[in-house]
Amino acid sequence: MSAINRINYSLLLLFLFGAGHAELSAQTKPDTSKWEAEISAFEKSDLTNAPPKGAILFVGSSSIRKWTTLAKDFPGKTVINRGFGGSEIADSTALAERIIFPYQPKIIVLYAGDNDLAAGKSVEQVMADFQTFVRKVHERLPETRIAFISIKPCPSRWRLREKVQAVNRQIAAMKSDRLVFIDVYPSMLDADGKPQADLFLSDGLHPSAKCYQLWATLIKPWLNY
C-alpha cells in the first residue's frame, strides 16, 4: 500500500467512524487473562512447529476455533487457526502481538462480533472495536488483507438479528483494497428468512460441518494471494 493510499485509507476510517467511535474504542480494555491457557498453548506449539510467515490466518471466536477441518477445506493454501472460544473483537486486538503479528500473515480471516452483541455491546461499540482492530493490524502490516466473515444468523441469538444486520451493513460499507467483507448471512437463511437449522449444532449457536463447507465455498474466492 503506497503512502498516499495509506493516508487516504486513514481518512476513510475517520470519516466512517468519527471521533465518537474513537472514544468508544478507547474505552474497550478487555481482560485477556482468561485466555492465557489457550494463547500459551499456541505459543508452546509454535516453539516446536512454527507456522510459516505469509500464510492465511484465521482468528476470532469459537466459530473459528471449532473449525477443525480448516486445512482440508482450503487445499493448496497454508492456513493457521488461532481462534479462541468466547472471544470478542477487542480480544483479538489486545492479543495481536501474540496471535497475529508473529505470523506476518498475508491474509487475516476474522470471525467475531456476535459474542460482542450478546454481551450487550451496541452496534456503535462493535464498529469502534472493529475499527481499532483494523487500525492496529494495518499499522504493523499495511499490506495484509483483512477479510471479515459477516456475523451469522444464530437461532439462539435470533433476537439480536437487527443489530447483527446493522453491524454487517456498516462493515460491508467500508471500502478499501485491504478490507474484504464476506457475506455468509443470506446463504444461511431458509426460504422463510430464518436460520437453516442444519447449519448449526444443537446449541443453535456454533456452526455444523455443513455450515463450514458452505463458509469454505464462500471464502475461497477471496484467498488468492
Q: Say what the pTM is.
A: 0.88
- Predicted pLDDT at 225: 61
CA distances from 153 to 3, 47, 196, 198, 199 (A): 38, 38, 9, 13, 10
| Extents of the domains making up the chain | 3-28+54-222
CA distances from 129 to 11, 77, 123, 147 (A): 17, 29, 10, 15
Phi, psi angle pair for 69, to nearest 5°: -100, 20
Strands 107-111 and 56-60: parallel
Tell me the mean pLDDT in the region 41-67: 96
CA distances from 64 to 20, 59, 68, 207 (A): 30, 6, 8, 9
d(CA 194, CA 219): 22
pLDDT tens-digit readout, 83-110 = 998 999 999 999 999 999 999 999 999 9
pLDDT tens-digit readout, 184-197 = 999 999 999 999 99
CATH superfamily of 3-28+54-222: SGNH hydrolase (3.40.50.1110)
Q: List strand residue ranges (DSSP E) for 10-73, in order.
A: 56-60
Q: How confident is the model at residue 30 (pLDDT cuts 50, 70, 90)?
A: confident
d(CA 141, CA 81): 18
Is the separation of the CB atoms in 89 and 129 below 8 Å? yes
What is the residue type of 184?
Answer: V
R_g over Cα of the chain: 17
